[in-house]
Each structure stands twice: as structure tokens, then as C-alpha cells.
Structure 1
Amino acid sequence: MGMDGIVYSPGPDELAYTFGARMPVAHVRSGDVLQVFTEDCFGGLVRGPGDLPSQVCRMPYLNPVSGPFFIEDAEPGDTLAIHIASIVPARTWGVSSTFPHFGALTSTTHTATLQPPLQERVWVYGIDQRAGTVRFRATGSDHTVDLPLDPMIGTIGVAPGGFQALSTIIPGTHGGNLDSPELRAGATVYLGVNVHGAMLALGDGHARQGEGEACGVGVEIATTTTLIVEVLKGTSTPWPRMETDTSIMSVGCARPLEDAYRIAHHDLVGWASTLTGLDTLDAYQLVSQAGRAPIGNVCDPNYTVLSAVDKTLLPTPRAAYDGVHGRLRQLAAGLL
């Protein structure tokens, strides 16, 4: 794999279902390349229309992650930069479903109504990596449509602070189930470190997903994902952030949705102000006119909204985090 590389493929009994309260599966040094097999959110148990998740999956064993990885030298108050070098679907199929009491358009435990749950149904998608397509097949007719293959990692995070263990289905300050299509190859994720060793874990790959993940389930896939990690000492990151070649993005996770929106935009305004030297209200004004707000999910215990701005629209910004995205991007290019 070129540089120092760690390859990790968990057995079924080695998958994790929480961030925090887990022993590490491997030790990783800053600068290492990590190639990780991730299982899909159903643990690979939903393979066809007859495999209803409520029957073949055992609650709460959903949304497994691979890890956690102990990152040497990572201490509370540091930031972990994780560059996603590649995400390769591990199988030629993916699945989605409607799931009882889960999703944006059904009753949930927190949005309680008297209607019965939506019918549980499974969709199987064919994945053609060479053509770069994901094939939707209707279940009530013979309609099909090819959608662009756009692999992403739905869940990536570190252990939360304060001795907490959080379900992998929850997004928050630690990262977790962010469910953003922006978490694709070429992106760098910045996560604040809360515990010694950071305890990084990831999973929940999607072959693609619409913004908001309306039904609660993307095109769920197992993946082989290659990452490069770097510890940024003495730099804190209170909410997850992301960077691509063209954009910087802040992530907010909360209910209601407007609070997630506010968190993300509050963070981006402060970040943009720091990088450009702009006064806070000038940065607020610029983000208000130039920003985007891609929604991650509107179905998990917390909702996820991103606040994004193109770097070219910021007046001569300093490189975020001393240019780590560009450095890791170059390293990743040397791997592929």
C-alpha cells in the first residue's frame, strides 16, 4: 500500500455498535494509511426482498462500525484529520428499505401519532462499478432507473467525552452517524479528540444517498475504505468539519432541524472569519449570500445539516488547519 499501512477486516463478532466504551482493535500512528472493511448497516443480513430487517436483524445490532482504532499521540484538545482516499463497494449489490417507525415521513418514538407504521419493504440495487451506476428497481412495477454511483461513508467518529458510550446511530459533536453524501473520497474530516487515543471508528457505507436520507435508509453497502489519519496537536474542533478541494464545511447535529442548521452556520461563520480575518458580521453576511446548506439526515436521533462555502469565494483565506487537506490529498494520490 505504499506508506505504513494497516489493513483491518473485522469478523462478525468484532463489529462495534457504540462510540466509546470499546477496546481498540489496532494502534495507528499519525500519518498511517488505514484500509478498513466496513459492513453495511444491516450487518450483511438483508440480501433480498424477503429479508425484512425487523425479522433478520436483532435490535439494537444495527449500523455496525469497524474499530475503534487507537491513534497514537491523540489527546483531548487535539484534532484528528481523516482523509478519505477511496471508498470501494465490496459487493455488486446494495439494499434499502422502509423500516417500522424510522424515517422522515412516518411516526417515530419522538413524533408520536396513531397511524400504523409504514409497510416494511426491501429494495435491492445492482451496483455496476465499471459503468458507475446504481440501479433502482421499483417493487410495484417494472420501472428501473440508473442513478450515479457516489459512494460515501455514513458513520465516522471518535469516542465522545465524559465517559459516554453513544449508539452508532447517533450523530453529534463526536461525529457518528452524519449520513452526509459529502463524506465521499477526496474529503478530509476534522474531529475533535475527546479521549486519549481518539478511538476512531467508521462504517455504514452508502452507494449513494439523497440529501436528507428521507426514508432513513440509503443504498446500504459493505465497503473497502482507505483513510489517512493525522493528529493536529493543540488544535480543538468543537463540531465536526469537512474540507474538499473546493469547499470548507461545518457540521451541526441536533433536533429540531433549525438548531442543527444554526450550529453548522455558527461554526462556519467563525471558521471563515478566522481564515480570512473578516469581521464576524462580514463573515456572516458573506456566508449568508454564498453558502450552501446540504442536509445529511432528517431521520436519526439527531438531524444533521452542513454549512458549506466555496473557498474561491472567501477573500484570500489562509489554508484551513495549516494545509493538512492538501498534504493528505497528495499522499492519497500516491496510493491510488
Structure 2
Amino acid sequence: MAVHELAPSRYWNTIGSHEPVLTVNDGDRITTSTVDARGWDRHGNSAAMAGNPMTGPFYVKGAEPGDTLVVRFESIVPNREWAWSMDVLAPNVVDPSYVPKLPKAERKRWKINTESRTAQPELESDMIAGLQLPLAPFFGCFGVAPALGQAIGTATSGQYGGNMDYRGFGACETIYLPVFVQGALFHLGDGHAVQGDGEIVGTGLEISMDTTFSLSLLKGQTIGWPRGESEDSIFTVGNARPLEQALQHASTEMLRWLTDENGYGLSVQEASQLMGQCVEYEVGNVFNPAYTMVCKMKKRWLPSKKAK
């Protein structure tokens, strides 16, 4: 297992079958960095075009359509002392009658303290000026190249991943992505230091990141939508609009996982009973062109067979 270090020199505003920046073997680790959603780097300089520029793609030897790519984020660390966020709720998350009352949204800066691992708004007289939030870094946008040679803008998401903005995708999480092209071609970026459920102001605390992660393969194991695993839960992700369709994708993928012979091997009836009484749902985002819903199951309710 090799360890690679990459200092990015170019970025992509689409996720697609682009020329890879690095070729790695199954199981290799990569240390690299990302710029923020507007393309600002660790020094605050404009290094890429705005709109969730991606680091990558990374080509994994042996990855073929029908395989599953396993991404393990070992560390996701903000690499500068400030982040930015919009300051007004998105119009689509309030009652239509309230939209005319919303002021014009502006970007606001937050102080990031990587030693105390806190974020604080840079406000002098506002009522929330003393607010301190614990850092919970994650990548809002990452994924593999879609099928059929598509290059899809980083504003949205789909079966390949993309701009899901789900705060459960933090360090020490394991992510499973379906592979659609040779080499998988993994992209990542859009770092958030903190974000609530739903990304309801259209941003998290947007910041550049340093990260270390590994890429490995489950050969011949096919999944339909992104999956994830934390210490205490498994979860599946659906990306679509309307929100109910995203929920349907996530629920169906969880049912597949629980009934798959490479998963937990339950019958449809057993899995349905388990989901019906134990399932949890989280809203990943309700801002992007495709909304994100997460279907989650605590491991303590699952049979002892290890998830694949």
C-alpha cells in the first residue's frame, strides 16, 4: 500500500471522465488539499473558478463498471483561519408568503481556530457575536465519473455522488460509491468546517482543506446509490428533486443493502420490519438542484453479519 502526496495545480467544476492527476493502486492512501467553493485557497488567493472546484480526478487501477469504490477519509482539516457563509435562509426553505420579507443575502466571514477546533462569526455588535461552534469538517461535494462520458456540474448530485452537502460525510467515515467508468475517477472538494442539516443558507462554513484518504475496491459488488458507514450506523443516500424521490432512492438502496447476499442477507419482509421500526432519516441538502436524503440504520439493530 503506497502513500501519495499531491499538490493540486488545476481544478474541475464538473465531475466527469477528465484526465487523471494521479493513478493509484487498490488500497493506496492520498494526501492532498482542496480549495473552497469559490476557488479560494489556503492563502485566500483565487486558485480556481468559483462553483465547487474539484481536486482530482484520481484513477484507481483495476476499477471497472459494476465495482464499488470504497473511500475512507482519515483526516479532513481546515487549512486557514477564516471561512465564509451566506447570511440569509434560502427562499425555498421558507413559506412562499415570507420570501418577500427576506433581505438580500451576503457573504459573511467566520474565524476558524484549528487549535481549539471552533468557529466564531466575525461580528462586532450582533447578538450572536459570541457564538462558538465546534468544528465538524466534511466535504460537501465528491464523487466518481458518471457513465456515458458525462461531465456533470458540481452544483448538483446523482448516483455518482456530487454536491450532496451531507454533514455525515466527515473524517473516519467510510463511503461506498458505484463505479461507472474504468478507473472510477474520484473527485473531491467543497470543504465545510461546520454546517447544519439541509445547507439551508446555501452554504456551510466554506473553507479550503487538507485531507488524507484511501481508495480501495469491492470487485464485482454493484450498488445503486452512495452508501456510508460510521462507527455506529450504516446509511444510504438518494439525490433527486422532489425530496420524496430522494427519499425513495435512499430507502430502496437501504433495502438492497439489507437483503443483498454481500450485505446482511435478510428477506424483504425481515428488512422491511427492521426498517419500519428502526430507520432514521436525515436531510442532506434542500438547496441544490438535486436534494439529498439520507436513510440511516443503527448497527445495534442489525444482524451480526458484517456489512460489505
TM over 0.5, shorter chain? yes
- Label 1:45 to 1:230 Cα distance change in 2 as closer, same or farther (>3 A): closer
Q: CA deviation at 1:106?
A: 7.3
Contact 1:96–1:219 under 8 Å retained in 2:
yes
Counterpart secondary structure, 2:274? helix
Contact 1:103–1:216 under 8 Å retained in 2:
no
Question: For residue 71 of structure 2, what is the aligned residue in structure 1?
Answer: 82
Task: Give, in whole Å, the separation in 2 of the partners of 1:297 and 1:114.
Answer: 19
Instruction: Tell me the amino acid that sits aligned with residue 136 of structure 2.
Output: D
User: Structure 2: any 5+ residue segments left out of the alignment?
Assistant: none
Counterpart secondary structure, 1:228? strand
225-234 or 282-291: which moved more?
Answer: 282-291
Q: CA deviation at 1:269?
A: 1.9
- Label 1:103 to 1:217 Cα distance change in 2 as closer, same or farther (>3 A): farther
- Label 1:140 to 1:273 Cα distance change in 2 as closer, same or farther (>3 A): farther
The percent identity for this pair of structures is: 36
- Label 1:114 to 1:216 Cα distance change in 2 as closer, same or farther (>3 A): closer
Task: Give, in whole Å, the separation in 1 of the partners of 2:224 and 2:154.
Answer: 19
Contact 2:17–2:185 under 8 Å retained in 1:
no
CA-to-partner distance for each residue in 1:49-107, whole Å, 9 max, x for gaps? xxxxxxx999x7311010111111111111100100000111111111158x9664479
Q: CA deviation at 1:215?
A: 0.9
Q: 2:224 aligned with 1:238, yes or no?
A: yes
Task: Give, in whole Å, the separation in 1 of the partners of 2:76 and 2:285.
Answer: 20
Q: CA deviation at 1:21?
A: 3.9
Query: RMSD of the TM alignment (CA)?
Result: 2.8
The one of 2, 22, 25 equivalent to 2:21 is 25
Q: 2:82 aligned with 1:96, yes or no?
A: no
Task: Give, in whole Å, the separation in 2 of the partners of 1:202 and 1:305.
Answer: 20
Q: 2:8 aligned with 1:7, yes or no?
A: no
Q: 2:121 aligned with 1:136, yes or no?
A: yes
Q: 2:115 aligned with 1:119, yes or no?
A: no
- Label 1:279 to 1:106 Cα distance change in 2 as closer, same or farther (>3 A): same
Task: Give, in whole Å, the separation in 1 of the partners of 2:134 and 2:99.
Answer: 38
Task: Give, in whole Å, the separation in 1 of the partners of 2:218 and 2:41.
Answer: 38
Task: Give, in whole Å, the separation in 2 of the partners of 1:22 and 1:291.
Answer: 38
Instruction: Tell me the amino acid that sits aligned with residue 129 of structure 1.
Output: T
Task: Give, in whole Å, the separation in 1 of the partners of 2:80 and 2:13.
Answer: 22
CA-to-partner distance for each residue in 1:20-67, whole Å, 9 max, x for gaps? 14211111111110112010001118999xxxxxxx999x73110101
183-192 or 281-290: which moved more?
Answer: 281-290
Task: Give, in whole Å, the separation in 2 of the partners of 1:143 and 1:176.
Answer: 32
Task: Give, in whole Å, the separation in 1 of the partners of 2:203 and 2:218.
Answer: 34
Instruction: Tell me the amino acid that sits aligned with residue 5 of structure 1.
Output: V
Question: For residue 16 of structure 1, what is the aligned residue in structure 2?
Answer: 12
71-80 or 266-275: which moved more?
Answer: 266-275
Question: For residue 160 of structure 1, what is the aligned residue in structure 2?
Answer: 146
The one of 271, 276, 297 equivalent to 1:309 is 297
Instruction: Tell me the amino acid that sits aligned with residue 4 of structure 2.
Output: I
Question: For residue 53 of structure 1, what is the aligned residue in structure 2?
Answer: none
The one of 262, 267, 283 equivalent to 1:295 is 283
CA-to-partner distance for each residue in 1:174-227, whole Å, 9 max, x for gaps? 001111111101111111110111110100010011010001110001001110
User: Structure 1: any 5+ residue segments left out of the alignment?
Assistant: 49-55, 322-336
Question: For residue 41 of structure 1, what is the aligned residue in structure 2?
Answer: 37
Q: 2:170 aligned with 1:170, yes or no?
A: no
Task: Give, in whole Å, the separation in 1 of the partners of 2:40 and 2:247.
Answer: 33
Instruction: Tell me the amino acid that sits aligned with residue 65 of structure 2.
Output: P
Task: Give, in whole Å, the separation in 1 of the partners of 2:226 and 2:256.
Answer: 14
